[in-house]
């Protein structure tokens, strides 16, 4: 498994991370099995959010860790906060209170990374900076990041912060690749050419902020999984052809497509199926050729001019 440096931090992580959004419904034994499989497969990074399963995902995760021989210090644990019931909240009190809840549920003294989950229209960067400063000083959070932030929103927050933001978590995958595709359609009067994120991919590369790709197998916004979906036959045929060539699965090739991008994107897979975790990590050494990367890009429905 390839290791990557996370932003300008001293964290060295597996390029593939396990997202724990779907862990809430697992029993503790099953969750232990999932975590152990991930670790045995080379994954050392686990992504959470306070809202996953209304906090239950973090609780099951910590119980599962206790149920295993895994040491917390061998793991990189990230969680997110800022989404509340019907509104977003980046106030200092809420951020600090959220982290206290996260640490209690995860039963740990510190988070490696805390990310703000979705932009709060009412953000006060200096207030966020105060919260981050207090959390860092108390040893409760080592590094900070954001999620679903545009370029300008990252800059707005960064200019008030003492520490560099280290991650920006964004939806990205073969069926959600607008951040690549708009650059390929620059100045064209078509839909794909619309820059919806402020050129976030280029900007994160320039600022050395790691992009974390969430929901890599989904099309639309949680509309479903594109692997084996009858609406995406061309894409599945290309995935299958490459899966056979590299002796891996279509899921594995779909992640290899993300990893091949030179931005060193970290992919957060969300499967709770141990077989699928192995499939994907087994393919982590696959390096697609340029031609293969572009074949998949076009099979996914994107054009070259």
Positions in the binding site for ligand NAP (CB under 6 A): 19-22, 47, 147-148, 169, 214-218, 225, 227-228, 251, 268-273, 276
CB of 253 to ligand NAP, least distance (A): 11
CB of 137 to ligand NAP, least distance (A): 26
Examine the residue annotation and report whether 52 is marked as an active-site residue of this protein.
Answer: yes
> Given the complex with ligand NAP, which of 185 and 271 has the nearer CB atom?
271
d(CA 81, CA 122): 15
Tracing tokens 């639309």 back to the chain, one arrives at: 220
Q: Identify any residues that bridge with 147 across adjacent strands, giving them in sequence order.
A: 169
> Given the complex with ligand NAP, which of 1 and 225 has the nearer CB atom?
225
Which single residue brings its beta carbon nearest to ligand NAP?
270
Sign of torsion, CA 218 220 222 228? negative
Tracing tokens 């929103």 back to the chain, one arrives at: 153
> Given the complex with ligand NAP, which of 214 and 257 has the nearer CB atom?
214
Q: Which residue in the list 52, 143, 219, 297 is annotated as catalytic?
A: 52
Sign of torsion, CA 11 17 23 26? negative
CB of 48 to ligand NAP, least distance (A): 7
3-state secondary structure 4-60: EECCCCCCEEECEEEECCCCCCCCHHHHHHHHHHHHHCCCCEEECCCCHHHHHHHHH
Tracing tokens 């790709």 back to the chain, one arrives at: 213
* Dihedral over alpha carbons 192, 198, 201, 202 (to 10 degrees): 110
> Given the complex with ligand NAP, which of 175 and 182 has the nearer CB atom?
175
Q: Where would I find the H helices in the chain?
A: 28-40, 56-66, 92-106, 125-137, 151-158, 178-184, 200-207, 233-246, 250-259, 274-282, 290-299
Contact 157, 128 (CB under 8 A): yes
CB of 268 to ligand NAP, least distance (A): 4
CB of 238 to ligand NAP, least distance (A): 15
> Given the complex with ligand NAP, which of 44 and 148 has the nearer CB atom?
148
Residues with catalytic roles: 52
């Amino acid at each position: 498994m390839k290791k990557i440096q996370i932003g300008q931090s001293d964290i060295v992580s597996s390029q593939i991370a396990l997202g724990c959004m779907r862990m809430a419904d697992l029993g503790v034994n099953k969750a232990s099995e999932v975590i152990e499989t991930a670790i045995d497969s080379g994954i050392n990074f686990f992504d959470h959010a306070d809202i996953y399963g209304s906090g239950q995902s973090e609780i099951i995760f910590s119980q599962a860790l206790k149920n295993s021989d895994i040491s917390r210090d061998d793991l990189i644990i990230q969680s997110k906060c800022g989404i509340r019931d019907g509104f977003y909240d980046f106030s200092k009190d809420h951020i600090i209170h959220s982290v206290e809840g996260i640490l209690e549920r995860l039963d740990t003294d510190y988070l490696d990374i805390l990310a703000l989950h979705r932009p709060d229209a009412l953000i006060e960067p200096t207030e966020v900076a105060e919260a981050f400063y207090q959390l860092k000083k108390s040893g409760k959070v080592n590094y900070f990041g954001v999620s679903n932030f545009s370029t300008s929103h990252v800059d707005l927050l960064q200019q008030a912060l003492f520490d560099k933001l280290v991650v920006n978590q964004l939806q990205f995958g073969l069926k959600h690749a607008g951040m690549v595709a708009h650059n390929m359609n620059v100045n064209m009067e078509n839909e794909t050419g619309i820059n919806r994120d402020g050129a976030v991919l280029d900007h994160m590369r320039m600022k050395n902020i790691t992009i974390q790709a969430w929901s890599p197998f989904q099309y639309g916004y949680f509309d479903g999984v594109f692997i084996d979906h009858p609406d995406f036959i061309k894409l599945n045929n290309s995935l299958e052809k490459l899966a056979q060539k590299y002796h891996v699965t279509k899921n594995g090739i779909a992640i290899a497509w993300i990893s091949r991008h030179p931005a060193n994107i970290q992919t957060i897979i969300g499967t709770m199926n141990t077989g699928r975790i192995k499939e994907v990590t087994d393919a982590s050494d696959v390096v697609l050729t340029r031609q293969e990367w572009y074949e998949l890009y076009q099979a996914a429905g994107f054009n070259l001019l």
